[in-house]
Amino acid sequence: MSDRIFNLGAGPGVLPEPVLRQAQQDLWNVAGSGMGVMELSHRGKVFDRIIVEAEAACRELAGIPDNYRVLFLQGGASLQFSMVPMNLLPKGGTADYLVTGVWSEKAVKEAKRLGTVHEAASSADRNHSYIPPASAIRYSASPAYVHFTTNNTIYGTQWRTEPAPPAGVPLIADTSSDMYSRPIDVTRYGLIYAGAQKNLGPSGVVLVIVRDDLVEAGATDLPTMLQYRTHAKDRSLYNTPPTFGIYMMGLVFRWIRSEGGLAGMAERNAEKATVLYDYLDQSDFFRGSAEPESRSLMNVCFRAPTEELEAKFIAEASKRGFEGLKGHRSTGGMRASIYNAFPRAGCEALVQFMQEFERANRAAAVS
Ligand SMILES: *Cc1c(COP(=O)(O)O)cnc(C)c1O
C-alpha cells in the first residue's frame, strides 16, 4: 500500500495492484519486443497475441459459448445506449426497458429517438431505491428486446437474478458496474455490454458480448462503425481499437482467474459488502440508502443524519485516506464503491473510521 490510498470512487475505479505493476513494466517493453504496449501496431504479432489472449481469458471466465462474439469497442457504455436500438429495434418496433435509475433512463432516451419504448417496470416511485419484483414487470405484446441495468451504480441497487423476458425475446443488459463481479450465465442474454472503467480496466473500451443471430439480424443501413457486424467480422480490428484498454482488460481477466474466477470474486465481494452493510444495519447514525433486499455488492450508498455531517464525513474521510466517497450529484449522501479490486481490508478500515466518526459526532446529530 504505502503511497496508495483506499479508492472508493465509482469510476474510473480501483484496479488490481498486480495489474498496475505489470502495466508499469509493459509500458516500457512488452513481451521482449523492445516496444511499449502503447506503441505497438494493432496489426502486429505482439498485439495480435494480446487481443487473442484477452478474448480467450474473457471467454474462459464466463464460459462464453462459441455462438457469441466478444467485441472490444469504443464510445463508452453510453454509445451502446444508441447502438443497441440502432441495430436491434426495427422501424415500427417496440423495445421494453426496465427502468431502475439514471443509466436506464439514458438508455431509454436514446431508444426513443429510434422507435417505441415500453417501460415494463420502473423504480422511480421510490427514487430508484429498489429493484422491481418480477410480479411488477409488464412486458409489451412482442418486444424486439428487453433491456435492463444489472447494477445501478448511482443508487446502490443490483438485480439478484436476471429478469425473465417473454419466450424468444432477447435480453440485453448494461452490466457496466458489476461485470465479472459474480458468475454470469451468458446464454440467458442476447447482448451484454460494459464500459471497462468500473470493474474491468481503464476507460476508453467497452466490452460487448453478442449472440451471432443478433449480429446478423442487425440493421444494414447504419454507418459502418455503428454496426455490430463490422466489428464481429474483423474481430474488433476493423479500425484501430483501444489497444491499451484491451491489453489492460486481458491482465484484469487473468487476475480474476488467479483469484478464483467469477465464483471467487462473488465470494469476496459478498464478504466485503457484508462488512459495510452489517455495520450500517446496527448503526443509529448512518443508514443504508437502498432497500435491503435490493442492495448492491458493488456500490454501497448510505446517509448520515444531516447534510452538514455528510460533508464533514467526506472531508475527514479524505484526510484519512478514503477517496471517492461523495455520492452522485443526483442523490447526495455517500457511496462506497467496492469493485473487484477493492480490498476487504479497505472495507474494514472504513467501518473503523465510521465508528470513530459516529462516536465523535453523535451529539451533533441529536442536538
Ligand atoms: C458508468 C455507467 C455508464 C456510463 O458509462 P460510459 O462508459 O461513461 O458511457 C453506463 N451504465 C452504467 C450502469 C454505469 O455505471
Domains and CATH numbers, the chain: 17-258 (3.40.640.10), 261-366 (3.90.1150.10)
C-alpha–C-alpha distance, residues 65 and 211, integer Å: 9
Digit-coded pLDDT (tens) for 24-36: 999 999 999 999 9
C-alpha–C-alpha distance, residues 39 and 131, integer Å: 45
Strand, helix or coil for residue 122 = strand
Digit-coded pLDDT (tens) for 171-194: 999 999 999 999 999 999 999 999
> Between β-strands 146-149 and 94-99, what pairing exists: parallel, antiparallel or unpaired?
parallel
- 174 C-alpha to center of ligand 1: Å? 8
Average pLDDT of every residue of the chain = 97
Is any ligand 1 atom within 6 A of the Cβ of residue 181?
no
C-alpha–C-alpha distance, residues 313 and 334, integer Å: 9
Active site residue 198: yes
- 46 C-alpha to center of ligand 1: Å? 30
Digit-coded pLDDT (tens) for 101-154: 999 999 999 999 999 999 999 999 999 999 999 999 999 999 999 999 999 999
Is any ligand 1 atom within 6 A of the Cβ of residue 76?
yes
Block residue for cell numbers 430508484: 128
Is any ligand 1 atom within 6 A of the Cβ of residue 149?
yes
Active site residue 109: no
Inter-CA distances, 243 with 7, 42, 162, Å = 25, 7, 32
